Structure 1
């Protein structure tokens, strides 16, 4: 598979027509188109047994994002499943995104193929139209896509849902275009030059400085270098926003990131220098310092480089000021981009493609010149102009042209002025205070201020004014940050007392001391160190009447001697709290809470307190009521340790959003403690310590803690572990679980455990399930679990089992594990009744199987490399079920007479086994795929002796004859004959209810004697001219006729099949007529029957609900629809001879009408008051609707290539209908079979 070239499409939409074509797929496709997103949706059905075409594969390859709409019937379509496989392959090879929509199905139903998805997969398996490998690929793709995060559409409105999807798609597309790869072509030479200077493979420490004007791309270039080098470094650190950050904080970040641990606060620059030298001198470090503006920053962070870091370290510095690099030997100047690459970058943001459309080339070139070929300006202005009309472009460029090239910020201001007021407020907040902040936290404040943050942030991102980077952190370019702050100053006429935001500490002190103007302040930041002595009066804070954000940084305060800092007395004296205050930020300021009478009425967030620990219930801790009044506190709390936690307290006071470690050791909590419900919010919890919680008998519901890695249960008298433990994907099983002597069931399904330790104390454990633990490779419980009844290790990486004394084991499941061989010790499992394998690496079964006297079921299906079955299997006198599907066995030994169900499918040449002794066999599936099999094997002479058979499937491409005594199988209800060369069909058992024949060579068959038949499928019988006796099948409900190229007619005139409800007729090119009176018919599908002239009697349409007729070139009319009061879907395609339709007024339930390529149709008659979807395409003679005013419920109307009707739409009578019409240029891909 070659890597796709430049995208022709941005989004690929995959869906199944009958479920969603004129429903959510229609809404979503048109919303994407209207948003300017190039979306692709396929417009053909997949011919049976064929692969999807190269055009469709290429569309999937080219699309940046694929959206499969996973409806209930999605997996029933091979077409959809093949698309899904392609999507997964593109995701894994090239990082394409898949964003699934779960449409009335649960993600788990898709992931694990249960419900309708399991039924569909089984149906594909049974039909044998696709190889086992193909079906396995489908299952893998469904599992992978089902595990992805997507949208669940249940009771949500379609309009609201599609708007959300389109917004997310726009953001994702924007992300793709803003990735550093956009500039890789332009920067290749720059990258090579720096890589040469820095000495990629050298062992010496190198420091390189990149300098250039703001917005020229220094950070992008540094990021590219960082990405190229990071794979060779264990210790990497990228420090951003250096100009705005205190040196001590930068030193702390450097040590913390390199050592990958939280480092204590650094109190002085000299202390930081000492710690860096001490801790990092032996480390090979990759370090980027972005936006350095002072020599002191370099001296405090890297010193002399080689002296501070280990050999081989690399340091990259970016700065606007070359003077900062005076002591750096390796320098690289970055200048503006050349014109061609500037145009390319501009086009990516303005048009989301590499080149502008022809009509926009002159304007785009003009824009590039005006932007001065600076990447930042190109990005901002390109995003600003995206999607605007030509007049807007001309006016905007004229405005930009009047601003000198050097005034880049003034050019960027044009994007700011285009924002709505609330969007401007958020942008200014970010520029002044929130660069690097978690957007999820800041949103609380903005939402309370009615700034509509969700929508506003998306607008800002689409206009490239802000970005949300890793960790949900807000980021703006330094030039945009400066622009925002300049706007604040300009709005205040450069008078400090008029500023709405004050971010500088000295200026903030000045504002607080003023007697006038403080009512203008909305947000303020104070930064104190341990030597600060600043006293505030009550009136000074009282004047901040409009303050909504207050940040007081006291990172260096001695919390044991905090009384000297007068701001603390603010709490103690209960000074008035600003009434509009939403956010109070006090990093490392207090560890003891104020008295319980503190009342912060409007406070939403008290942040930055990162560690809180106390043992026993402390008296001075605030009451629960205090927390209820001051909600959403402790937003940054990561670690909560509270030993001997009281039962009556419920943890309702705390925000659990960032909680990582929770230690409730020796607490009084019980199974039904109400606090468990509140802990469900702790989505990021990784460690839960419940040591010696003596009242705990069972574990809580872990379904919300999917990131939990350590669960400590030492000293807990547990008797039950909740099933939800299976959702903990990162859990490590603790050794202390060995102490759970009363535990009877342990389920750790779908977790990331790597081994199961040797538990010797769990003597009562009966069930151990580790299903889908894909990292599990070691089991050490040999002989310890003496009461174990059920052991499930399917879908693990277990390669061998240390079987010991498992004499009690009843069921063992090893399916889809990495087991290569079963040990002989398996023979000691004397009570084993069920053994399931499905192991692709397994080559043979041990002879010790013959010792398992109680074994009732062996499932070795899908053991694709299984070659050998031991003869000892014949000793298993209780064996009832034996599955050997999809193997390569070449011989089957004599099987035990106790078998009731036998499934054998092999790809090797195998002598047909003699099964004459299996007299109680009820189900037999025999798939012998080798073409030479029956030429060397004996006949099926024994088949007539299996009188208990209820279901028989024979699949063999070379089977030429079938024994005549097959009709003696009086209990047979289901018969599948999948052959290619069967010369003659013998008389079949009269009690058959399901019969499928594939590949018969006869010209005529008579089935009149099969009066109990309810489902009949006749496929790929090339010489079959007629099927006699259908009129006598009075119990027939479903008839499926496919690929019978010689069939001429179906049903005689007298046919009166009272129970027939569904007919599917596909690819019968010589079929002339379908006769009969079929009064119970509900579904009629007829496709690719080019000679068809006549349909069943008009009375057959009385109860019809769905009609699809396509590719019937000679069909002139469809009688009977005028009385179809239950008809919901009418889909007529490629009917060139059809000249008229009956009056559809009585079709009171008709929701969908599709007319495609019906060039002779002149008029649509009737009042269609219930119609919701109407499509008209290539109907050149259609001129009118008999009553255009009747379309009261019409929600979607497609029209294209129908000239006369398009002219009719211009009349006043059709005005309302025209408003719904989709553009004619889009209709080509809008029409597809709706069923």
Structure 2
């Protein structure tokens, strides 16, 4: 179904209309501020800068971001190019500054080339004076001419000022009567809207959400202050609320998203209050002393402010009465969204200002589509036909609950061909309709083996969001984690993210924690203690000699800056901990054998490490001392490496005092060493070469590390080397080394100017990331990387060409050449038979690369913002049979290949039957759109079509676009007839038409 069009905003709400066309995704800053220092630096600019930063917007300002010794002109130009938008603050003497005018000219150039957004602030000047170059502006240019500045530069500056004068901006004197605060609030709000900084993350690939969004939006646009979204567990309440929140949050002066924990205690309530106050004030979080203090601050701070607050998973009114208990605390037009577990929660609000929307389960058609999507993935229709009837019956029993459908379908997916299990699952569900969601979870949980259940409970209690490779180092002492995690993923109980992080749905997490809670009435009787208060209770019980032999994992989670000191004498056999999180706590005393079973010690932010504690870490596998005060020199630190004989993972991320590398011993079994963000670390010691079992070395953003020790050649087992953001100048390896290396990431290494021929000996390499390097070539030896799957060269601004040997990369799937100087691809790329993604956005490409025309695995081609790509595409694309995404926005192309003649027209379209997205926005040379005649039924899979600044005249054949979800039309003056919104089932966006 199509997404619902956005309903009109509430009364008295206005927004600034900006062109939200795409900008480069490779940016270092959100906003570039340009200003003349003596005019506004210490007043308006300073206030605006801090307001933007307080809203978590990354701002470039010249006195804070330029490094000493940089060429100011080049650095400023690069900063402008690497920003998503620019805000010039035009004051009376702005034009008297040569650097300001250079910045302005660069902004205008970026707008023309990259469609970068410019929003000027006319501080104390009239736009007409800029347009006509009169008054103080004229005087400034007269002085520039007297100084002998090149006339070409002056002409370019004048043109830039005149361009700025035409733009819609902010007029401080005429519209805001000189009030800085009001203007600054407006600018921050509009920048947030443009950058979508407040959008909540929503899962892709949903089915049937659009009608709910439309109805909920209709209620929000009424004079209703509180909207309660209710429904059965797993029906999609949170997803719906996130959709609504993302659609309307930009209409409010402040917004906040709060997740209610299951048990709201006083410290957790204050944390929610602190977040709410911080979000609405757009300031850093400040600590409260009591919940009553927080209530007073909320009640008196926002009563003249129109806000949007989304509170997720409310189970009773007491959880929120100190947050949004009285609607008079917030200004007129405010909205409060809630997802609730009970329908009577809003009884404390007046009925005339509160309403509810119940999310009903999916209808049978939508539910079946979702079930088939997860049970059969991409299986052909004929292979799923024998399951059709049974699939429909199962879906009817589950009654359209999305989460339960996904869980059940995923469980059955790996059991195709075993009809008896499908039938048993159907029969089992028939007798358990009352607790469908929980029972759907239980079906999968009960099917797990014992070890897999333990790993599931560990993730539910502690490790959601953790790197599964690290957690596996603990689990491997008892289980077979690779096998068991794969089983959990197959059942959709757990997902593994792109960066190997474990992810579990919140309802599944609660289900797992309920299982642990049922193990005993008291915390110290249970196997896992994740709640801070329960952990303190368990520690107190241990001092009373209570037995806690069942406790396997315990976590203390202090607020930032808080800590506590514990004495642990006499615990002895009472502990059987394998995981312990201390989180800034200080522990001392005689531990005896209390921690002899410990496998994972998470002690981030510790300031003092007890020697007695270290003496009992003989079985430790994982040690995390991130953000701690270790220096690499202390005697205690040396004992860590000496006593932890079985240590496999050592994390020292962001240890800002670590100025000397640790001295490692050859007998260590260390597999993962993480030194990311150790900003003072000048080098990696030679002793790292003695770590014969090391698999991963992470040096990300150790900015003073300039070279790698030759001893790395001894690391025969190393598979992952991460040196992003370091000062490495050259990548070179000794002969016959690094043969097992699979991942080499050197992104944002701005000093990296050379890759030696030794790169060719990395026979196992699958990932090579050089994004942002200063290299001007790749060695021909790259042809030896037969296993390479991802090659990232984006933002290598000096790279002019690829070697011909690139065609030997027979396993290459993704190649990113965005923002390089490459004008054409070598003919050998025709041999990249496994290539799926080709990104050349903002490159110097002149012609559509014919070399790729027969790459039948290619799914995505991105040539957007290639300003030199001109004329009609003379390439028969029928060989691109897998193409799903084609981006040609902001190019000078004048026509697609099938517009040339009838023969090419038929052949090409028949091969693009999988095309889902076609972006022709800002293609002002396109005179006709040949893909929409009525006989083009083979484009029925097209989902997204964007047309802007084109001279197309007709849009015939839209009725054949069966899967088209959205048609975007911007500024198409030659279009003779607008599409009928009532006729088509897809969304038609005609803003700025």
Q: TM-score range by the shorter chain?
A: 0.3 to 0.5
Between the two structures, name the one with larger relative contact order (CA 8 Å, sep ≥ 6).
2
More helix by share: 2
**TM-score calculated relative to the size of structure 2:** 0.48
**TM-score calculated relative to the size of structure 1:** 0.39
Q: Considering only CA atoms, is the larger Rg found in Structure 1 or Structure 2?
A: 1
